[in-house]
Amino acid sequence: YLLCTELSVTVSYGEIDAVRRFLSARNCEVKDILYGEDVRFLVAIKAEERSSWTAALVDFLNGRAEISEKSSYFCPFPLANGK
């Protein structure tokens, strides 16, 4: 089990493909995708990677994402051995 942080990543519909590309190349688990006025991805990452992960996403999207921490918990992280 690893300490994980669940993040909410909110973007416009125009950023969906870019976010999916980013997530597929990262060590994370998409817990849910919520569609409304905008799109919110709920993503679990290793807590120790939070700063570098969020900085990389902000850079990748040129600041066009709202990222907030939802919770932290221990979980059997599926990608514990990395990519």
The more confidently predicted of residues 81 and 63 is 63
pLDDT digits (tens, 9 = 90+) for 22-69: 999 998 999 999 999 999 999 999 999 999 999 999 999 999 999 999
Inform me whether the pLDDT recorded for 80 exceeds 50.
no
CA 33 to centroid of chain Cα atoms: 11
pTM above 0.85, yes or no: yes
Residue 19 contacts residue 41 (beta carbons within 8 Å): yes
Inform me whether the pLDDT recorded for 82 exceeds 60.
no
Question: What's the pLDDT at 76?
Answer: 81
Inform me whether the pLDDT recorded for 83 exceeds 60.
no
Pairing of strands 66-75, 2-11: antiparallel
